[in-house]
Structure 1
C-alpha cells in the first residue's frame, strides 16, 4: 500500500521497511514534529470554550462546585 507523505506528498510505501512512515524521510518527520511543537498543527476538537471576560470570583466557583454530585471529589 502507498500513502502520501503528509509534508511533501511524495508517495511512501507503507511497510516495516519504510523507517519514517508515513513520512518519506527524516527531514519531513522533523518538519512535522516542529509544526506540532510550534502548535501550527493540532487535532481538531469542538470549539474551545471562551474564557470569561472577567475572572470568576470565589463565590462563583463555590456555587459551581456546590452543584456537583456528592462523589465528585472522590475520583
Structure 2
C-alpha cells in the first residue's frame, strides 16, 4: 500500500483544495459544480485564445461580386 500523502492542488474554479489523484473523479476540480462552471465558461466563450483579426481580403476582391 502506498503511504504517500495525496497531492492537493488549487481548484481552477474556486481556488479551494482539490485532491489530485484518481480517487477524485473531478480532478483538477474540487467538485462537479466547479467542473460544470468551467465547462460553461468555455461554452460561452469566456475563455478565448487572443488572436489578431484576419487580414481583409480587399486586395483580392469579393468573390461574390462580379466586379471583383
TM-score by length of 1: 0.61
Q: Cα deviations across residues 20-53 of structure 1 (Å, max 9, x unaligned)?
A: 00111111100000000101013x45x3234428
Residue 48 of structure 1 pairs with residue 52 of structure 2: yes
Aligned residues between the structures: 56
Name the one with the larger helix percent: 1
Residue 39 of structure 1 pairs with residue 49 of structure 2: no
- Provide runs of 4+ in structure 1 moved above 3 Å: 53-56
SS of the aligned residue for 1:22 comes to: coil
CA distance in 1, matches of 2:28, 2:38: 11
Partner of 2:33: 27
CA distance in 2, matches of 1:54, 1:33: 38
- Where structure 1 has 5 or more consecutive residues not aligned to the other structure, the ranges are 59-75
TM-score by length of 2: 0.66
The alignment's C-alpha RMSD in Å is 2.3
CA distance in 2, matches of 1:10, 1:4: 5
SS of the aligned residue for 2:14 comes to: coil
